[in-house]
Amino acid sequence: MNGEEFRHWSLKAAEWGADYRESLRERPVRAQTQPGEIAARIAASPPETAEPMEQIFADFEEKILPGMTHWQHPRFFAYFPANAAPVSVVAEYLVTVMAAQCMLWQTSPAATELETKVIDWLRQALGLPEGFSGVIQDSASSATLAAVLCMRERALSWQGNKQGLSGQPRLRIYSSDQVHTSIDRAIWVSGVGEDNLVRIPADGKFRAMDVAALEAAILADKESGFLPAGIIACVGGTSVGGTDDVVAVAAIAQKYGLYLHVDAAWAGSAMICPEFRHFWTGIEGVDSIVFNPHKWLGAQFDCSVQFVRDPDVLVRTLAIKPEYLKTHGKDGIINYSEWSVPLGRRFRALKLWFLLRAHGLEGLRQMIRNHVAWAEALAARLGEEPGFEIMTEPMLSLFSFRHAPTGVADLDAHNQRLLNAINDDGRIYLTQTRVDGRFAIRFQAGQFEATEQDVRDAFAVITEIAALLSL
């Protein structure tokens, strides 16, 4: 591809992207294809000779696009959002075309220095105290793994990386039963082992960890010869928004000298609104926090921010400094590759800089406030609708419900059929969870360009399809 062809196809891709975003409401939210259908359209062997871009682009539209679920669709109410505000997409064009490897300060000074500034902008926006610094990771999974490794190393007096875990005391890490499965993976990858993740029961309106049970588990483990290393608390868990009492958990962590990490991957974005910060009261007392601007704030994936109270713990755990990665003659620089597991790093700060400047904090706050208000209104309407039950009340913009008409013996199976029918219909997209062992349907409002009417449409679709299934 020569320079003129690159210009032509870059412009065509940008125009296609703008047309695509404008057409989303006309498309079914979830892909309507069957397993294997897309693969059957793809050639079995790679081409031996070059193919024309016209054909490649046409095949993208004809063969690939039908198999895509449209995460930027305004009626995407499943999982959590993976927002890509248009201004963030524009920034990613620039990042992609420069294709810089931003592992060290010297490999792109602007990327490192902008990351430092943007992280501090976010610290201020979230109301975190001075003294917290941070790094942009690829995902909450990586941030959580880094936190678990810090727990491991600090508990083992920094000998885990050197000596391995064989012959060391068995570590214990504690979390509620509401945490995301990324915690399980971090436990696996870190070598701590699944059997040493102690799950504390959660209850109450916000499914908070039982702090008395947490302390009892720590004491029992110490008595049995285990070495407690850390606690992972949750603010806005994936299932139904489980949220721990950070003040109480932090007091236990401090009492027993444990590293405390808070997973606020989704809900953390809402803390730009001062009225929602009560959900993480006490956050100043934790060791690290993860929140994902690529979920609710509008930054294109991947963009996960890990705040740390003491970056030396993170660097001591993860930094490797061979001669070929040293920057000589420059003092006081940060090499963010020493703050994360991967060496390679994308220029993720640019899209945050564009996003925060183009929308301003007040524009982003209004979006989040709208989503919360619209979800609360939908939960209230469904709760008043005959045959519907609210399983968990809204935590910010997330709640769960089920359809429970009289005369239906197996409500789990009925609600699975309802969910399948809703998603096959294509107008909205929802996902499921379990609440106290019972099947429940999740709803979360969070797509960047959703409107109040989109949420009202969700009510119409849910009740319409439920009525058809009840005939």
The model's pLDDT over 2-50, given as tens digits with 9 standing for 90+, comes to 999 999 999 999 999 999 999 999 999 999 999 999 999 999 999 999 9
- pLDDT tens across 408-439, in order? 989 999 999 999 999 999 999 999 999 989 99
Give per-residue burial for 143-157: e unless 16+ CB within 10 Å, then b.
bbbbbbbbbbbbbbe
Q: Give residues with Cβ within 8 angstroms of 312, minimum separation 6.
A: none
- The whole-chain average pLDDT of the chain stands at 92
Question: Boundaries of CATH 1.20.1340.10 in the chain?
Answer: 3-70
- pLDDT tens across 315-374, in order? 889 887 655 455 544 556 888 888 998 888 888 999 999 999 999 999 999 999 999 999
Residue-level pLDDT at 60? 95
Contact 246, 193 (CB under 8 A): no
The CATH superfamily assigned to 361-470 is Aspartate Aminotransferase, domain 1 (3.90.1150.10)
Annotation: CATH topology of 3-70: dopa decarboxylase, N-terminal domain (1.20.1340)
Contact 238, 446 (CB under 8 A): no
430 backbone φψ class: left, alpha, beta (φ>0; ψ -120 to 50): beta
- pLDDT tens across 166-193, in order? 889 999 999 988 777 788 889 998 889 8
Give per-residue burial for 54-76: e unless 16+ CB within 10 Å, then b.
eeeeeeeeeeeeeeebbbbbbbb
Helix pair 349-384, 452-470: axis angle to 10 deg: 40
Q: How far apart are CA 248 and CA 282, in angstroms?
A: 8
Residue-level pLDDT at 329? 45
Question: Boundaries of CATH 3.90.1150.10 in the chain?
Answer: 361-470
Q: How many residues does the chain have?
A: 471
Average pLDDT over residues 102-129: 91
Q: Confidence band (pLDDT; 50, 70, 90) for 378?
A: very high
Question: Boundaries of CATH 3.40.640.10 in the chain?
Answer: 101-346
- pLDDT tens across 273-330, in order? 999 999 999 999 999 999 999 999 999 999 999 999 999 899 889 887 655 455 544 5
| Domain 101-346, CATH class in plain words | alpha beta
Average pLDDT over residues 87-110: 89
